[in-house]
Structure 1
Amino acid sequence: MFPLHERTALENLRRKWVKTFFSPQPLGIIWLGTANESWKDIAYVLFSLFNVLWACVYLETWKRYSNVLAYRWGTLDQRDDLLVEPRPLFQGEMSTSPVTGRPEPQYAAWRRRVWRHCVSVPLMLLCLSVAAAATFALLRAQDWWESKIMYLTWIPRALLAIMIAVEEEVYARIARWLNDKENYRLETKYENHLIVKISLFQFVNSFMSLFYIAFYLQDMDKLKEQLAVLLITRQVIGNLKESALPYLIENLRLAKMCVDVFGALSPTKAPTSTQLTDMFDKKTDSASESPENSIVNGGAEKPKDEKKETESPVGQKVIHQAELESQLFKYEGTFAEYLEMLTQLGHVVLFSSAFPLAALCALLNNAAEVRADAFKLCHVAQRPFGDRVNSIGSWQHAMEAIVGVAVLVNCALIGLSGPVHRLLPDATPAQTVLVIVALEHVILVVVLALRLAIPEIPAWLATEMAKVEFQRREAIKNAHAPLMVSIHQPQGVYC
């Protein structure tokens, strides 16, 4: 009697062990295991469920904290939509507003719906299909590369990450153009519809390759490698694109300006302002010594023009602050940052059970991202305009949707990756499916219970809001009291 080879494991060893010369020895694969490893399966299941529950609690606590910040900054109570001014790029025929009585642009809602259903939706579906086809083609090329070329297997994965970044940039331009054509009146409505368009494409573009590997190939090792390469490559490309590249372009612009103004790459190569001032003082001193440019009053000589002390030197070239800051990049808002956080949350909670270090990579990236954003705002971008909001808007709903999908994905991965079969070896396939479905329903109920149990507004904040409302009503009552007294006083009769 002798043991038979496992064909899949044997082919893997032939490819990664026999045909490679510089790879480490696969001691973790070829050793004979006899210990009970059920604790790994239990840890796998618990870690997957912990990620989902953590994400739910995190989003709910953030919602509470954002309400605290909105109250502190005075933006918790928003005005009615009809009282909000239209966004600057809103187009329409001028007519009198029924609310304010002032002339405002008006745009028929049916025209927006026609454009959305006849142009936006078909074009979005086309872009999603192209992205899916390109991702599938590159994944097939990746399989061919790994089967034919044993070296540099990371190259196809890096190319996939670069292709995803390029597709995101192209689709973002298309989505903004479609959103502009839909012509929304309010800035919040404009951003909400743009979030829906880009988030949907981002989900397909960023996670389709991972779904393909997890549920079609069912290769957990390859899923781990793919997730690690995508996550790290996107983080590196994102930081370079947001901070390093704009900073380099900004320095090139400033160098060109210095060449145009001073004739050198740096103002220090040209005559400095101090040197020009000294030259000007010498000229004025020699001019003031001449008889025609001085007067005698009580034995003291005074310059004929006393304003020369405050005048700038003749011919001095100065670059003003507005000219310098005009070379900086315009701050495009927080849309890209929120989109990056949404994608990162998906990588952490959807497939992190296959790559547990995804959370650590995300934490390190966020620590660097804070410093990169500070550098961008202080050195690279123009000063942004303020915008009063009471929350992160539709991004909150998009992240909550990611958590809901994560429940389904993690439960499916638990069923496909083998922990259930090893923990319940006597279970039939039908019983395994029932266990996974029951687990998924339990987790969904727990997530819903957590959302209901954690109030959006803390108790102390609700008390403070009630105090403010009471004081407002008392102030209105006191302001109207003299008027009410004068109305109810008896009027005297004069004969």
Structure 2
Amino acid sequence: MERLHQTETHSVSSNLNYSGDEDEEKDLFINSLWNIHKTLVALRGHMSPISSKVDTEILGHMDPMSPKVDTEILGKDLFEIDEKYLPPTYLVIQLSADIPVKTLTWLIEKLRGKKRDGGGELIVIKQPVNPEGLLVLHVSATKLKLLEAAEEMEFMKEDKTGKVKEFSVQFLEDFLPGSMQVDNLFSLTERQTITRHEVENIRALSEDKHIPGYPETHLYTGQSIVGVCQKYELIKSMYALHDREVLKKLGRSWYMSIFGKQPYDEIKNYFGEAVTLYFHFLGFYTDALIIPVLLGLLQLLFSRETVPFFCIFNVVWLTLVLEIWRRKSNEYAYKWGTIGMTSMDEPRPNFRGAMGVDSITGKVQPQAPRYLTYVKMYAVSIPIVFVCLTVAFVIMLASLWAEAYAKESEEWQAYVSLPSTIYTVVVLIMNAYYRRLATFLTEWENHRTQSQFERHRVTKLVLFEFVNNFMSLFYIAFITKDMENLKSQLQTMLIITQTVNHFQETIQPLAIKYYMMKVHNLKFNFFPKKLDPKSPKLLLEKNISKVTEDNKLSNIIMPELPPNDPRIKLADEEAEMEPYEGTYDDYLELFTQFGYVFLFSSVYPLAALWAYLNNLIEIRADAFKFCKVFQRPMCRRVKDIGAWQRSFEILSALSILTNCGLLYLSQPLRQSIPTFSDVQWLLLFVVLEHLMLGIRFLLHIAISDKPEWVRVALAKENYESKQALKYEKSQKNKGLLTRKFKTVDESRANR
């Protein structure tokens, strides 16, 4: 065993590119790294990712022969820092100015405490108090902590061959191409992701009954500490700092390159898989619009009799596009190592449940019965959502009826536009409150993984948006049967609405930011030099002094950034930037546009042209806002676009019904065959509708979700995994038999 230990230690030494003649400091690092690896091997399947105290309570019944873990190797010597050297900032946490010192001390100890005590073993550095009195913490991690956390969270990393696989310290050499040092193993984005994961997964222990200083709060074992602090607004914001040089280079090849291709690899390396997949979908969908654009332009050159042909081709093309996208998203997921994501992935930080041993992974994680989630969904959430949809539908009908009444009444003709104006304001208010309600209900349902949470939240929101955006068009099309009005509404929504969206997303945030900076500068420039009692400078100094005295920040012993550290300016500037809430709003724009273009393509074929032109601008505008407007979003791993794929497919199927219905109501088309009765026309379009639905179903079955090379690669990986398990089992059996026969031979010899 000693020889085996020496051999494996030498392997780790070679992985780190250290020779056997290096000094004692490097030898200490190698031994520390090897000890961490041994601990992780023992940890996997037996130890909690949050606290050995919880593990002792839960795992006390386990076999006493289970491997014992020496958690002391993760102790003080490995994770303390030299205050003369302040490591890079991976995460910025902005705390409330009103946070009590007791709460502040508890939170900081949770961040930098030992794992066996429920801490995150992270490096926490405080920033000098800012003018608003907010305490800003800079969170970092040692390279040993990053390696430990990466293996513990089963981090996916590209190896030397370009293949993405689960990171392991044992096979560290596989992830170090050429002469790369271990210090450069993880990119800044990956280090930020790992640090964010560790911060969010600091969970409450059994003795943590409430937040210190807030006895009215309640903490349960396994609850995310950061999540509950954000809920009570003790943590104002949490964000990663932009890398200005990398961002500038990315911007030149992205939003500044008008006719260039999107740099998808660079986007993924900086923003992560979720944002990259959105831009992949936006680019793919924009390219797919070229065919409908050409069909719409050709239709202008021919008579209205060609409308059915173009409409049918549009719907078939739409089905092909969505099936091809499903295949492409699986390609990306395989390349990124996310294709294997399942419901058994790590629980999200806000998942609530008693700590217990997972029956599949063997890890100690929050556990909650799945049936309770379904009971909440079907007994409470769905009825509430249905009531909200009904209210939105009734308000829409009331607006249309009021507008129709105003048109017919001479007294109210001057107020014809008033109902639609009021309806628009009401919709904006309802959207804001309904979004909060949908988020609250989905959180209350307690979905285990982040992907499950996003899928159910998006489903609730999409239903509400569908009613608000499309039901009025259905009313105009099939109740009032005013095709000219329908065409006019589509033009307005496609052109005006999308122009307003561009303004709100890019120009408005920058204008507000510029205005606030100008106002701030004017205030200081117009005040006299003399420091009277109301002088801003004097008030600022008093404010900082008061905050320091009230919170007793000086009594909290921890590293502090020097006043001239450039990270202070970056953190303050980026704190004023818009936080990125996720890809929901971006996909919602495309979903709404998708419905306008294809649900009513038989009425307004040129809708695809306006959508295409808009998307060309949208790509650059979205790239600009990611680089200049938003805080740096944290990377989130995804394997597909989630509930949006199903939403687009539902719109695709619905477009068959709506376009067949519109063709049935088309008077110019009916006049082309005057001998047909209403019943014959109805039968014709019912047959056409069923035929197109059948074609769509056949295409869905015929086109595989995964390309052939992806299926072969997955099958090969599965085979290699089985062979590796067989080999491991055979080696264990061989060792067992060797020891057994050796014992028998020795007993015979003794006789």
Offset of residue 484 of structure 1: 4.9
Matched residue SS, 2:599: helix
The unaligned stretches of length 5 or more in structure 2 are: 1-299, 527-560
**Which of 246, 259, 262 is equivalent to 2:509?**
246
* Residues 460 and 400 (structure 1), Cα distance of their counterparts in 2 relative to 1, 3 Å cut: same
- 1:33-72 equivalences in 2 (<5 Å): 40-72=303-335
Once the two structures are overlaid, the 10-residue window that deviates more, 408-417 or 426-435, is 426-435
Aligned to 1:285: none
- In the alignment, is the contact (CA less than 8 A) between 1:64 and 1:457 conserved in 2? yes
**Which of 568, 579, 587 is equivalent to 1:338?**
587
- In the alignment, is the contact (CA less than 8 A) between 1:331 and 1:384 conserved in 2? yes
**Which of 612, 617, 635 is equivalent to 1:386?**
635
- 1:465-476 equivalences in 2 (<5 Å): 465-476=714-725
- In the alignment, is the contact (CA less than 8 A) between 1:157 and 1:230 conserved in 2? no
Question: Once the two structures are aligned, what percentage of the paired residues are identical?
Answer: 36
Offset of residue 347 of structure 1: 0.9
Aligned to 1:409: 658
- 1:71-470 equivalences in 2 (<5 Å): 71-79=334-342, 81-82=343-344, 84-100=345-361, 103-109=364-370, 111-144=372-405, 164-252=427-515, 263=524, 319-418=568-667, 420-470=669-719
Could you tell me how far apart the structure 2 residues matched to 1:218 and 1:59 are?
A: 30
Matched residue SS, 1:105: strand
Aligned to 1:281: none
Q: Partner letter of residue 400 of structure 1?
A: E
Higher normalized helix content (fraction of residues): 1
Offset of residue 218 of structure 1: 0.9
* Residues 123 and 413 (structure 1), Cα distance of their counterparts in 2 relative to 1, 3 Å cut: same
Aligned to 2:202: none
Offset of residue 109 of structure 1: 4.8
* Residues 455 and 151 (structure 1), Cα distance of their counterparts in 2 relative to 1, 3 Å cut: farther
The TM-score, its normalising length taken from structure 2, stands at 0.49
Could you tell me how far apart the structure 1 residues matched to 2:357 and 2:522 are?
A: 53
Could you tell me how far apart the structure 1 residues matched to 2:710 and 2:385 are?
A: 42
Offset of residue 100 of structure 1: 4.9
Offset of residue 203 of structure 1: 1.4
- In the alignment, is the contact (CA less than 8 A) between 1:70 and 1:390 conserved in 2? yes
* Residues 476 and 109 (structure 1), Cα distance of their counterparts in 2 relative to 1, 3 Å cut: closer
Offset of residue 474 of structure 1: 4.5
Could you tell me how far apart the structure 2 residues matched to 1:430 and 1:316 are?
A: 79
Aligned to 2:243: none
Greater C-alpha radius of gyration? 1
Matched residue SS, 1:85: coil
* Residues 182 and 481 (structure 1), Cα distance of their counterparts in 2 relative to 1, 3 Å cut: closer
Could you tell me how far apart the structure 1 residues matched to 2:305 and 2:566 are?
A: 73
Note the alpha carbon deviations across 1:136-181, whole angstroms, 9 max, x for none: 2322343355556999988876776665455433322221122222
Note the alpha carbon deviations across 1:13-67, whole angstroms, 9 max, x for none: xxxxxxxxxxxxxxxxxxxxxxxx9x63431111221221121111011111111
Aligned to 2:555: none
Once the two structures are overlaid, the 10-residue window that deviates more, 111-120 or 250-259, is 250-259
Offset of residue 127 of structure 1: 2.0
Once the two structures are overlaid, the 10-residue window that deviates more, 144-153 or 52-61, is 144-153
Offset of residue 349 of structure 1: 0.9
Could you tell me how far apart the structure 2 residues matched to 1:244 and 1:396 are?
A: 30
Q: Partner letter of residue 382 of structure 2?
A: V
The TM-score, its normalising length taken from structure 1, stands at 0.73
Once the two structures are overlaid, the 10-residue window that deviates more, 48-57 or 91-100, is 91-100
* Residues 74 and 113 (structure 1), Cα distance of their counterparts in 2 relative to 1, 3 Å cut: closer
Matched residue SS, 2:303: helix
Matched residue SS, 2:451: helix
Q: Partner letter of residue 488 of structure 2?
A: E
- In the alignment, is the contact (CA less than 8 A) between 2:491 and 2:607 conserved in 1? yes
Q: Partner letter of residue 325 of structure 1?
A: E
* Residues 264 and 55 (structure 1), Cα distance of their counterparts in 2 relative to 1, 3 Å cut: farther
Aligned length: 409
- RCO comparison, higher one (Cα < 8 Å, 6+): 1
Offset of residue 437 of structure 1: 0.7
* Residues 255 and 484 (structure 1), Cα distance of their counterparts in 2 relative to 1, 3 Å cut: farther
Could you tell me how far apart the structure 2 residues matched to 1:423 and 1:465 are?
A: 55
* Residues 160 and 55 (structure 1), Cα distance of their counterparts in 2 relative to 1, 3 Å cut: farther
Note the alpha carbon deviations across 1:208-232, whole angstroms, 9 max, x for none: 1111111111111111001111222
- Across the aligned residues of Structure 1 and Structure 2, the Cα RMSD in angstroms comes to 3.4
Note the alpha carbon deviations across 1:356-387, whole angstroms, 9 max, x for none: 12111111121111111111111111111111
Q: Partner letter of residue 442 of structure 1?
A: L
- In the alignment, is the contact (CA less than 8 A) between 1:206 and 1:343 conserved in 2? yes
Once the two structures are overlaid, the 10-residue window that deviates more, 188-197 or 205-214, is 188-197
Offset of residue 479 of structure 1: 5.1
The unaligned stretches of length 5 or more in structure 1 are: 1-36, 266-310
